[in-house]
Amino acid sequence: MQATATVLVYSDDANTREQVRLATGRRPAPDVPVVEFVECATPAAVLAELDRGGIDVCVLDGEAVPMGGMGMCRQIKDEIFHCPPVLLLIARPQDAWLATWSRAESAVTLPVEPVEFASALAALLRQKALQSA
């Protein structure tokens, strides 16, 4: 198992980014690496970080402004070679079909529920580890 995993968190709302950090803790599950966060508040920052590389999973806020996480997800899936898996934060369970449209691998509702979020993030980190092996 790698020592750390880098998780990009995109939201224009600092409270949403904090919810993600708090729900994750040091690691979302005992069998995945310790998580380090890269926080982005703008679409340009997300693209710059993904171009830099080293991101294991993206957490995108579907309610972010000026570009929501769903549109951001669809864009990075089209533009980033070997795009990391995406966990989308959605406003309502009924928005799950939009998460599918955006090509996100997983989605959870806001506000972040710690157990549900940590479980979804851990599953994507496991998936990423299997792809890298």
Q: CATH 3.40.50.2300: does it fit domain 4-132?
A: yes
What span, in angstroms and rounded, lies between the C-alpha atoms of 29 and 43?
29
Say if strands 86-90 and 106-109 run parallel, antiparallel, or are unpaired: parallel
What span, in angstroms and rounded, lies between the C-alpha atoms of 66 and 84?
22
Question: Cα 11 to the chain's mean position, in Å?
Answer: 10
- Do you find a cis peptide bond into 111, omega within 30 degrees of 0? yes
What span, in angstroms and rounded, lies between the C-alpha atoms of 131 and 129?
5
56-114 per-position pLDDT tens digit: 999 999 999 999 999 999 999 999 999 999 999 999 989 888 899 999 999 999 999 99
